């Protein structure tokens, strides 16, 4: 089968095409004939070696067709989405014609969407749903601040939150260029992302926001904590600002009373308490089909242009989810 391997840690040019044997699924695994996959910033970190030793074939999500699934409830020919389950980290991932995935990380789907459109949904929308419903416990009428709202995950979170009746404040480094896009996604207000958002946020929500979804990372986390209402919640779920540690964090000084701080990473999907079937992916897909969620890919690349796809991902010029189609 065709696959893309990391030759050695480094830039996009280290992603090289190879021929590998098609995996053979063990009981409890699903062999997926990959049709398309979404691109994720985590895959650039893995490619660079910032997450330590990883599998040679990257890719943490895909959509495709079940080729075999011994000892599971999945059927040959099912349309499915797969997320994590060690893909790209401890086992070869989705940058290939076939991926072998634990069945608990595979969800059957019914959809009329083209493969490229379907591939824009799984990782971003499942993660956004978990952040909003589990970590932030967002309710209709509450105010949500999404930092990094022009990212694929930020747009998914804005879609879901606005459709659920929350008031969304979206941040971006390019408000003039992206205001229309973000408001079309459901944002009520769009403000410029900067180290301190106190003045801009308090002008909209004088008592602070009910919830903050921080996708920028450690460079903005302390500011996000200060923006939360009392009571309030902050969930960190991304590192758009880089993977550097948060130096000098002192809970006594920096964690306000009655503000709950949590983290969510999609690598948890499939583990106890984070079963993937808790996320209503079928309902999410239907809402995309009905136009309630704007999950169309921002850019579609061919399998042969994986280097260009990663260059695009790292450029920071994208405005949403980039996907790759595998079929020739």
Q: Looking at residues 88-115, what average pLDDT do you find?
A: 97
Question: What are the tens digits of pLDDT across the range 139-153?
Answer: 999 999 999 999 999
Task: Map out the domains of the chain as residue ranges.
Answer: 2-120+296-325, 123-267
Element (H, E) at 64: strand 61-68
Q: What is the DSSP string of 172-212?
A: ES-HHHHHHHHHHTT-SEEEE--S--HHHHHHH-TT-EEEE
Q: Name the band, by pLDDT with cuts 50, 70 and 90, for residue 252.
A: confident
Write out the two tokens for 58.
Answer: 């990257």
Neighbours of 114 (CB within 10 A): 14
Q: Looking at residues 171-177, what average pLDDT do you find?
A: 95
Write down the pLDDT at residue 167: 98
Distance CA(121)–CA(123), nearest Å, equals 6
Whether 215 shows a pLDDT value over 90: the answer reads: yes
Cβ-proximal residues to 11 (8 Å cutoff; 6+ apart), any chain:
47, 48
What top-level class would CATH report for the domain 2-120+296-325?
alpha beta
**Considering the chain, what is the average pLDDT of its residues?**
96
Q: Name the band, by pLDDT with cuts 50, 70 and 90, for residue 15.
A: very high
Q: Do the beta carbons of residue 89 and residue 46 sit within 8 Å?
A: yes
Closest C-alpha to 240, from 66, 8, 40: 40
Q: What is the pTM of this model?
A: 0.96
Whether 248 shows a pLDDT value over 90: the answer reads: no
Q: Looking at residues 186-213, what average pLDDT do you find?
A: 97
Q: Looking at residues 263-285, what average pLDDT do you find?
A: 93
Write down the pLDDT at residue 243: 82
Q: What is the DSSP string of 144-179?
A: EEEETTTSHHHHHHHHHHHHTT-EEEEEES-HHHHH
Neighbours of 228 (CB within 10 A): 22
Domain 123-267 fold is Rossmann fold (3.40.50)
Helix (H, G, I), strand (E, B) or coil at 260: strand
* Residue entry with tokens 């910032």: 50
Q: Name the band, by pLDDT with cuts 50, 70 and 90, for residue 171.
A: very high
Write down the pLDDT at residue 327: 81
In CATH terms, are 2-120+296-325 and 123-267 the same topology?
no
Whether 228 shows a pLDDT value over 80: the answer reads: yes
Helix (H, G, I), strand (E, B) or coil at 28: coil
Distance CA(74)–CA(77), nearest Å, equals 9
Write out the two tokens for 159.
Answer: 């879609």
Q: Do the beta carbons of residue 98 and residue 67 sit within 8 Å?
A: yes
């Amino acid at each position: 089968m065709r696959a893309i391997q990391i030759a050695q840690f480094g830039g996009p040019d280290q992603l090289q095409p190879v021929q590998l044997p098609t995996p053979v699924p063990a009981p409890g695994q699903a062999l997926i004939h990959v049709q398309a996959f979404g691109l994720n910033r985590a895959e650039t970190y893995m490619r660079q070696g910032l997450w330590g030793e990883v599998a040679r074939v990257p890719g943490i999500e895909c959509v495709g067709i079940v080729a075999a699934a011994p000892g599971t409830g999945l059927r040959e020919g099912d349309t499915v989405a797969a997320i994590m389950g060690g893909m790209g980290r401890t086992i070869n991932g989705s940058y290939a014609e076939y991926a072998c995935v634990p069945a608990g990380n595979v969800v059957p789907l019914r959809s009329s969407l083209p493969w490229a459109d379907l591939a824009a949904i799984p990782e971003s929308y499942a993660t956004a749903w978990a952040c909003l419903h589990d970590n932030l416990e967002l309710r209709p009428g509450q105010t949500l601040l999404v930092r990094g709202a022009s990212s694929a995950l930020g747009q998914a979170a804005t879609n879901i939150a606005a459709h659920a009746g929350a008031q969304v404040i979206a941040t971006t480094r390019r408000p003039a260029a992206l205001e229309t896009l973000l408001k079309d996604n459901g944002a009520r207000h769009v403000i410029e992302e900067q180290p301190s958002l106190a003045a801009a946020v308090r002008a909209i929500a004088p008592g602070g926001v009910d919830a903050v979804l921080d996708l920028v990372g450690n460079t903005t986390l302390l500011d996000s904590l200060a923006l939360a209402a009392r009571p309030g919640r902050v969930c960190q779920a991304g590192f758009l600002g880089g993977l550097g540690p948060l130096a000098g964090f002192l809970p006594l000084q920096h964690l306000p009373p009655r503000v709950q701080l949590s983290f969510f990473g999609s690598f948890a999907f499939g583990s106890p308490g984070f079963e993937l079937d808790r996320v209503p992916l079928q309902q999410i897909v239907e809402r995309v089909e009905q136009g309630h969620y704007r999950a169309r890919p921002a850019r579609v690349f061919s399998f042969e242009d994986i280097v260009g796809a990663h260059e695009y991902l790292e450029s920071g010029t994208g405005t949403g989810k980039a996907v790759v189609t595998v079929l020739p």
